[in-house]
Structure 1
């Protein structure tokens, strides 16, 4: 019997992110507590930018954005918020959140270590660029690995693709 396998990847559905940003921007424009605070929310070249006239307002925009992303099934781990502190430039505070895609080498190594340490015997993990291929003779073992990885604390939005 041939080995079964799947890939562990970290991808972001850009259309869903774009939809969430548009919904959040519309809500920010309509809410009375954002009137006159120069609130702005944009999504260009894989970076979501939030702007307002105070750090509290920028964080409020972030809160609206996060709720829209969650409703659309986009993991908040896909946003790289840095230290999460809005930066001032003149009278405007700005927070940029680039999208994180692909597994970093560090996360790929962490995933293969988790599979080696906690996974069933006979499961192999191979790092392939920015993804990890997991293979085993038993499909049940692969299901177990997926469950282990879903519980693991990994700083990336994980998806499981190419299951065969």
Structure 2
């Protein structure tokens, strides 16, 4: 029986490369001269330290630009609320999401089953396994999922006949 998996994985090596490029750009940009702006990676999360809200927004733009250059979808970033540090400085934690959480998986299963495509969907941890009798049904599921608007980028892997 043909099957494939729906996953959401982020290449953390590419995220690290993007952060290294951002650090280099912060050192050379004129508007960041003399500021205490920095960006750090602690495996599932990114911590951004900025002097003020304007610099924080500039760091967000840098982050999205450099991730897009490295072929990482910026939709994997989950911005937490900024925290005030000493003086006017701001600190923000940005979580890099890996895998499909339970709520999103349930919504996805419900929508696939509601589409009347002849395929079975099973939640397996942080991924979904889709099986069907015909290959065309599975391709219809992929096309249907691509048409849905989710904030999390999805990948379709392990397509087996």
Q: Name 1:108's counterpart in structure 2.
A: 105
| TM-score, scaled to structure 2 | 0.92
Aligned length in residues: 159
Report whether the alignment pairs 1:153 with 2:145: no
- For residues 102-161 of structure 1, what are the alpha-carbon distances to aligned partners after superposition, in whole Å with 9 as ceiling and x for unaligned? 1111011011112111252x2111111111101112212212211221221223221111
Preserved contact between residue 136 and residue 142 of structure 1 (Cα < 8 Å): yes
2:17 matched to 1:19? yes
Contact in 2 for aligned 1:77/1:157 (Cα 8 Å)? yes
Structure 1 residue runs of 5 or longer lacking an equivalent are: none
- In 2, the alpha carbon distance for the partners of 1:156 and 1:28 equals 28
- Tell me how far 1:20 sits from its aligned partner: 0.9
Identify the residue that residue 126 of structure 1 maps to in structure 2. Answer: 122
Match of 2:68 in 1: 70
Q: Evaluate the alpha carbon distance shift between residue 119 and residue 55 of structure 1 in structure 2; reply closer, same or farther with a 3 A threshold.
A: farther
Equivalent residues of 1:124, 1:134 under 8 A apart:
yes
Task: Give the secondary structure class of the aligned counterpart of 2:6.
Answer: strand
1:119/1:144 contact within 8 Å kept: no
Corresponding residue for 1:43?
41
CA RMSD of aligned residues (A): 1.3
SS at match of 1:50: strand
Offset of residue 82 of structure 1 = 2.8
Q: Where in structure 1 do 4 or more consecutive aligned residues deviate above 6 Å?
A: none
| 2:20 counterpart SS class | helix
- Shift of residue 45 of structure 1? 2.2
Q: What TM-score do the two structures reach when normalised by structure 1?
A: 0.91
Task: Write the distance in 2 (CA, Å) between the matches of 1:138 and 1:82.
Answer: 43
